[in-house]
Structure 1
Amino acid sequence: MPPNLGLKESDLKKMGLKIPVSKLYNDSQTGINQAVVIFDKGCTGEVISSNGLILTNHHCGYSAVQKISSATKDYFANGFWAKNQQEEIPCPGLTVTFVRKMVNVTDLILYEIYPAMKNEERDSIVDARIRGLENGYRYATHLDAQIKPFFNGNEYWVTVSETYTDVRLVGFPQNGIGAFGGDTDNWMWPRHTGDFSLFRVYANSANKPANYAKNNRAYKTTNFLTINAKGIKEGDFTMVYGF
């Protein structure tokens, strides 16, 4: 689990990690985890600017781009590139979700649960506690909370998240670039596909989630990933971080 990365710090350092493990994950919104988002219904995206610019895979934007395309504006055939924020296109229904924190709530869920209990009794008690805790985390906030079991029900963790609903298209390569090679290229290395698309998250004046409005502002953050144009060299530490 991400909050337990500290237990692996020694191993990660031996592999070449140069930053503190606390920079990989923490709940104070200063970790890399705050720059890795759930894009739409399950893709991974990365915040790559202080103004809410999101990088994700080309296919992850398909559904949103399809909804805003037309016979005269075929973005799959011709691509799309906004020259400024005013040209960015709203994508109705598209969401970007930030996981704000994860908390181990096992003791609150499983106290006074005994191995001898009947499954029906155990499940009823656990389900009621999950609903109560989730509602407690959500109370008087705009945040969502979901509690899930891990390790065959031996641990329970609550994930507290914040979902933004004003997301706009910034850049989308035409299919001849973004989907070049089809599924074959998808599983080859090196790849020859421009497999990316760009979106931007917008927020209200308080930098909180809000439905689309012309006066919404680009989401502001100090937690974003930078792209190293020099690439990597043999032996560099690499890590996959996503959903």
Structure 2
Amino acid sequence: MSLLEVEKINSFYGDSHILFDVSMRVEENEVVALLGRNGAGKSTTLKTLMGMIQPKSGVIRHQGTQVQKLPPFQLARRGIQLVPEERRVFGQITVQENLQLAAMTAKPARTLEEIYETFPRLAERRRNKGKQLSGGEQQMVAIARAMIRNANIIMLDEPFEGLAPLIVQDLIEVCRKLAKSGHTIILVEQNVRAALSLADRCYIINNGNMVYEGTPAQLQGDTDTIQKYLGVKV
């Protein structure tokens, strides 16, 4: 049994059909990259998995239990956490208060010491308000909030978007550390090279259809697929 199993989900925005019979699986302690061009359906997939969009049909199983009709707060209680592209860090409170707020409804929550061990930069900045942080530091807070809730699946939506290359390298190391410590991660990222450097397996979605599944090594050896669906060099 996979940690997360998705079978032929169909999702809509109003009358617009966005996801078409999308299926995927995620194993425990695995990093899965979901790749595709802008507008391909990547973020819609994450929002569907988080309950922000309920699929019109199909099945989503988490730890063997069907969850496709559950609201986001119940999925969060089950250990599924989405780190949105917008980060949504509270700007008027400190780093530590952002983390403490996230931990309030988690049972059990991780300790601040564990978080600061993973994110030494946040330990240094723990008394700074969210609005005083750089984009990379805000992204670290967003990931740390999911981690402190003891998530069993962390979904990252474009974590490297708009960040300087050096900051991206720091965040890649953070994600690598999370993966090595046994966290299960679903990664949506336009930076294909960075995503493949972290992933155990990858999917490609195109126009709402899942068109590829394989390992990073298999994808890197398939230049036709890369050019057709991603339009980049890896």
More helix by share: 2
Q: TM-score, normalised by structure 2?
A: 0.25
Q: TM-score, normalised by structure 1?
A: 0.25
